[in-house]
């Protein structure tokens, strides 16, 4: 379908507007968005480092004593990982938790 650029609908426009409105009116929402962004940064740092080292999820799991599922859940940001899990993962990929947390 040919739609002129200025008339294209973008679902992200609605989402961006919603987030902006919620942040303006609900301080708790704004804190939640900031917290979620921080969690995503942590997991992104870990899996990017694993990839740089050419390591598999299985290797990180084996070296850290975590299960493959735990490592995958950390990378997918599917769980609120316990600090000990993040420390073990970070050590295996040669990072300190301080470096991961920024």
Is the pLDDT assigned to residue 101 strictly greater than 50? yes
Measured between alpha carbons, how far is 86 from 48 in angstroms, rounded to an integer? 14
Q: What is the pLDDT of residues 33-56, one digit of tens each?
A: 555 555 567 778 888 899 999 999
Q: Count of CB atoms within 10 A of residue 40's CB?
A: 11
Q: What is the pLDDT of residue 39?
A: 55
User: Burial level of 70, CB count in 10 A (0-12/13-18/19+)?
Assistant: buried
Query: Residue ranges per domain, the chain?
Result: 8-101
Residue 89 has a pLDDT of: 86
Angle between the 11-25 and 27-52 helix axes, to the nearest 10 degrees? Answer: 130
For residues 98 and 39, the model is more confident at 98
> According to the model, what pLDDT value does residue 76 have?
80
- Which homologous superfamily does the CATH classification assign to the domain defined by 8-101? lambda repressor-like DNA-binding domains (1.10.260.40)
pLDDT at 52: 92
């Amino acid at each position: 379908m040919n739609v002129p650029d200025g008339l294209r609908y973008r679902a992200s426009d609605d989402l961006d507007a919603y987030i902006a409105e919620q942040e303006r009116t609900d301080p708790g929402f704004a804190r939640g968005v900031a917290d979620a962004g921080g969690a995503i940064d942590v997991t992104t740092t870990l899996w990017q480092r694993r990839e740089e080292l050419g390591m598999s999820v299985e290797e990180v799991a084996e070296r850290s004593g975590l299960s493959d599922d735990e490592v995958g859940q950390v990378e997918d940001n599917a769980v609120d990982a316990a600090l000990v899990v993040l420390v073990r993962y970070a050590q295996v990929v040669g990072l300190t938790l301080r470096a991961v947390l920024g």
